[in-house]
Chains A and B, each alone.
Chain A
């Protein structure tokens, strides 16, 4: 609950995903206006914050693919009451995890050397580009996840239904329309 506005604090985060789940969230369209009135929207991938804020509900898009994601997801878990895996990359690893069948080195070589028109080198281990983890993992393999919104991406209706249930103190119905 926000100390000033006394509203539940809602956040969204973007790990290893294509942002399509956030696009689906934006597909709430006019329902976003109602939602904005009911919550204190405290963080999203566009907010420039030093640290992830305290939140009641956080929607996490994307799989845990690099060192920054790993740090962020632990931080989010510490500061969030209800953590929701938003979409298939967060839930299963999905396309983000397709590189797991190959080694990190092979993947980086493919992207930055073999297929590159200008070969500058492989960015790894510097302070600008986070280092890739050896293995991409779904969020619940790293931290405890409270609810799952499946789909690539989950529909705006599913996101809306889940948030409304939580805001009104109900257990989300969690109807899965398609898994995987």
Chain B
């Protein structure tokens, strides 16, 4: 296994060949912002929040998909990146109806946390206020499209960990929507095993357990590490 030495934010770090900049940085406590990445499932680079600057490259790169290379010099927190991240999060807020004050995840939402971290105090782009449905047909869970940021964590965890592939994406651009099976109501899905993994990995309140009031929902993501470790090492440990 070959080792790559690189510089991230002025620190000399090492990673193994094939490892991503994101992974090396987080392992050393450099917390690059992210919404679509979650440890244990594949990366897709959907949210663009983990973009980094690499010296000698004009384009910004999604660190969750860029493997480390020998001698790389990476910057993860520059005024330019901060400005981009702020705008991305503002666009997410403007694209759908994120009414945090009436959301089950208020106070424990990754989108909200990131906005606060980036110092956002208002959204500069025009709110779209789209008319979106809420699917409450499943016995135990609900899907509120108003709160979905299209990170696709639910789709990937269902496919890669549960092996059911109940979720998928319909449409393009702002018309994109997470669907169950072939666009059936969630409650009518034949493939859904009701395991709830999608609900736990969802960064916002888009997927939630029924029966929770505003701010009451807490998500537990530790199961992912257990399952992935069990698969790789045949041991039930975190």
Contact = CB atoms under 8 A, between A and B. Distances in A.
Given A92-B93, A178-B116, A152 B100 contact: yes
Interface string A78-99: 0000000100100111110110
List of 8 A-B pairs having minimum Cβ-Cβ separation, nearest first? A100-B129, A152-B101, A180-B100, A179-B115, A148-B121, A101-B131, A148-B122, A179-B120
A138 B127 contact: yes
B107 A101 contact: no
Contact of B112 (A94, A145, A178): A178
A97 B94 CA distance: 12
A97 B129 contact: yes
B112 A98 contact: no
B98 A102 contact: no
28 contacts: A88-B101, A92-B93, A92-B99, A92-B122, A93-B129, A97-B99, A100-B127, A101-B129, A101-B132, A101-B146, A102-B131, A138-B122, A138-B127, A140-B122, A152-B101, A174-B119, A176-B116, A176-B119, A176-B120, A178-B100, A178-B112, A179-B121, A180-B93, A180-B98, A180-B100, A180-B109, A180-B111, A180-B115
Nearest to B127: A93
A128 to B, nearest CB: 28
B122 A145 contact: yes
A124 B121 CA distance: 34
A131 interface: no
Interface residues of A, number: 27
Interface of A: 85, 88, 91-95, 97-98, 100-102, 135, 137-138, 140-141, 145, 148, 150, 152, 174, 176-180
Contacts, number: 72
Interface of B: 93, 97-102, 107, 109, 111-112, 115-116, 119-123, 126-127, 129-132, 146
Contacts of A152: 100-101
A102 B97 CA distance: 12
B188 to A, nearest CB: 24
Contact of B127 (A88, A97, A145, A174): A97
B129 A95 contact: no
Contact of A174 (B101, B121, B130, B146): B121
Contacts of A141: 126-127
A128 B158 CA distance: 55
Given A91-B121, A93-B127, 6 more contacts: A95-B101, A100-B129, A101-B130, A176-B116, A180-B93, A180-B111
Nearest to A93: B127
Contacts of B130: 101
Contacts of B122: 85, 91-92, 138, 140, 145, 148, 150
A124 to B, nearest CB: 21
Contacts of A137: 127
Contact of B99 (A85, A95, A145): A95
A101 B99 CA distance: 12
Contacts of A177: 116
Contacts of A92: 93, 99, 122-123, 127
A150 to B, nearest CB: 6
A91 B94 CA distance: 12
B220 to A, nearest CB: 22
A84 B84 CA distance: 26
A145 B107 CA distance: 26
Contacts of A140: 122
A4 to B, nearest CB: 35
A152 B98 CA distance: 13
Nearest to A151: B101
B129 A94 contact: no
With most chain B CB atoms within 10 A of its CB, the pick from A100, A140, A145 is: A100
A73 B129 CA distance: 22
A68 to B, nearest CB: 21
